Amino acid sequence: MKVVGDSEHFKQPLDHDENYISRADIKREIAIYQELGIKVASLSKTQIDKLNLDEHLYDNVLKTKTIKINTEAYRRHLQYLGKLMRFEDIETLQLDIKNVLNQNSNESAKLNVAEKLKDQLLVEGDTAIQTLIEKYPELDRQKLRQFVRQTKKELSKKPDEASKTAVELVKYLRSETSE
């Protein structure tokens, strides 16, 4: 007499098929794509412009910005972005996102350096200008002196307000000292 559950077919593991993908694996993959879509949607428009997205995905990422957050429409649209991400090369896209975010941190670092140089110029005056010109010979000594003099003048009149000349000085330092 043969037992019903004794056949060879029932003794094989469930995942004997090489092409078998479990539902849990599929859901994990979908979650990865959706997280990537959310990350891209959270970037600013200028950052999105720097990514190499196809036109359809680009339009839908920008459309996400017009939908009110914490609504059902927003959630559905993020799911749709995740679906569109399946057709993208995610390793390349993740690398592009990392580069864009790194460029922003580099830009803020450059801004911080320029701000510190401005503060140093305002405190130390001509000695700081001389040191800066030795380090960056392409800087214009006359222009730096004018910026420093005008900034000090503006700050003495209105110490509570931001000086327009100080902002121009930072822009000048940032553009001329970037390496």
Per residue in 112-166, pLDDT tens?
788 888 888 888 888 888 888 888 888 888 888 888 888 888 888 877 777 788 8
Domain 105-177 fold is: Diphtheria Toxin Repressor; domain 2 (1.10.60)
The pair of three-digit structure tokens given for residue 40, joined into one six-digit string? 């891209």
This model's pTM is above 0.85: no
Kindly report, as residue ranges, where domains of CATH 1.10.60 are found in the chain.
13-88, 105-177
CATH architecture group of domain 13-88 = Orthogonal Bundle (1.10)
- The residue among 124, 117, 125, 131 whose CA lies nearest residue 169 is 117
Location of structure tokens 């539902």: 23
Q: Which long-range contacts (CB under 8 A, 24 or more apart) does 166-174 make?
A: 166/118, 166/122, 169/118, 169/121, 169/144, 170/111, 170/114, 170/115, 170/118, 171/114, 172/143, 172/144, 172/147, 173/114, 173/117, 173/118, 174/110, 174/111, 174/113, 174/114
